[in-house]
Structure 1
């Protein structure tokens, strides 16, 4: 039986699933520029949530640092990893973050403990994600270690520890995620100015960026925070393995490609992992 927290998390995951498809349409836009603008658009969603009471954005500096660590730190490490290491392997390593949530939850949050079923389900879920991601490339992996893999692993640790860390700081309103997004968006634009070439954006690009900010780079973060406040992070971590599965399915459907056997197998493994872990 799905709980309210599960439904909030699933809605966030559905939004994240659209990120790859939107990213394909905006592939010509430098990634830090795209992220910065998307986060700034997303931060505006906090206005109706806070009912125009800007005090809801004011949080202790430790909480603000945690939010910027999560939203900006995750994207910074992931983008550098994707630029310096083979993208397929880096993306796969990054998807260790749901496994990290399950494994690290008892270490970070008091009152939780490891359960063999949940850890086993998390490993099965990651294996399913690996099948989905590797299936898109025909299963080819370049050998050897690359320093960029450490950055990809770092991005996974950042998102899993941020997600769990929001339960360790003083309680804050979900609308405060708007402040996290606004500061992270400004920092992302600073990275764009330092490291990326200037880009001309068309009206179509701006429209898609608004969708990006309302969905995977905005609304999803608010829903994710609300889910973590209301539910068991181990359950939510297991559900998060649906992200690469749904993302791949959306890309295949929007590009007119046929669904593959690896996608079906990965789906069985991920859904099975979620059911096993939640039992």
Structure 2
């Protein structure tokens, strides 16, 4: 596994903490959390870039800003809309089509081969995710707009991730992600003011938001950018199914749930899928 692919794995590890930190920030509106998290991540990233004397790298063409800021904000806006308009479990399951889409899109957009072992691995990962979050799922007709938003979120994140490594965007430096995060924070803030009531965070919520901005809604995007541009998107797409499993295990360790045979089997499927994909040539 190359260092760039390991960087992408680091992003997946940070995203595993998203659910736990979101629970700790409960009570804050979703778009407000998004704006605050991106503001923290973007500000810290900008400070690092400035300390390196590389602020000039934020000067990128419009297509890079559309891809970066639009992808970050568009995915989260659609995801939160899906959770608001449809049952959370079912919407989350549809959202987790994005790792499968990354693997499938990497072939036509990046000219990478798939192969039966890699495809078997990604489908094992999806089966583990479906077992974990889709048991007892129901799809009421009135929730169709939410399901469409979840599907849109999956497509947006898959296209954002794979497109980062295409010829037109692969040369955009990772340092520019700091600017994209701040732009996404601005877009989320505008949407928050338009559709939500502002809530003043308490001390615990501030801690959760800062940790979100430093990790899942901050450093993770820088690591993911490196992984998508210089790593193996097929392997990362398969390993991404470890995120909901690891997230569930963290919630259990935090006292938010209990171990069950379903969790154990889902973990085995995701681990087996990742192993199959890692061995693929």
Q: Could you say what secondary structure the match of 2:60 adopts?
A: coil
Report the counterpart of residue 22 of structure 2 in structure 1. 23
2:159 is equivalent to residue 161 of structure 1: yes
Aligned-partner Cα distance in 2 for 1:108–1:230: 14
Q: 1:256 to 1:88 in 2, by over 3 A?
A: closer
Aligned length: 273
Report the counterpart of residue 188 of structure 2 in structure 1. 188
Q: 1:256 to 1:73 in 2, by over 3 A?
A: closer
1:39 CA displacement: 0.4
Q: Which moved more, 1:43-52 or 1:181-190?
A: 43-52
* Structure 2: runs of 5+ lacking an equivalent: none
Aligned-partner Cα distance in 2 for 1:142–1:129: 16
In the TM superposition, what whole-angstrom CA distance separates every residue of 1:27-71 from its partner, at most 9, and x where no partner exists?
100000001010011012323145142112111110110012210
Q: How high is the TM-score relative to the length of structure 1?
A: 0.94
Report the counterpart of residue 79 of structure 2 in structure 1. 78
8 Å contact kept, 1:12–1:224:
yes
> What pairs with 1:1-279 in structure 2 (closer than 5 Å)?
2-46=1-45, 47-49=47-49, 51-109=52-110, 111-134=111-134, 139-145=135-141, 146-168=144-166, 169-170=168-169, 171-255=171-255, 257-279=257-279
Aligned-partner Cα distance in 2 for 1:143–1:233: 31
Q: Which moved more, 1:93-102 or 1:194-203?
A: 194-203
Aligned-partner Cα distance in 2 for 1:210–1:167: 29
Q: Could you say what secondary structure the match of 1:141 adopts?
A: coil
1:118 CA displacement: 1.5
8 Å contact kept, 1:118–1:277:
yes
Aligned-partner Cα distance in 1 for 2:43–2:182: 8
In the TM superposition, what whole-angstrom CA distance separates every residue of 1:7-40 from its partner, at most 9, and x where no partner exists?
2122111111111011111110000000101001
Q: Could you say what secondary structure the match of 1:45 adopts?
A: helix
1:256 CA displacement: 5.5
1:262 CA displacement: 1.0
1:108 CA displacement: 1.3
In the TM superposition, what whole-angstrom CA distance separates every residue of 1:98-120 from its partner, at most 9, and x where no partner exists?
000001111211x3133122222
Q: 1:52 to 1:33 in 2, by over 3 A?
A: farther
Aligned-partner Cα distance in 2 for 1:133–1:256: 15
Q: Which runs of 4+ in 1 moved over 4 A?
A: none
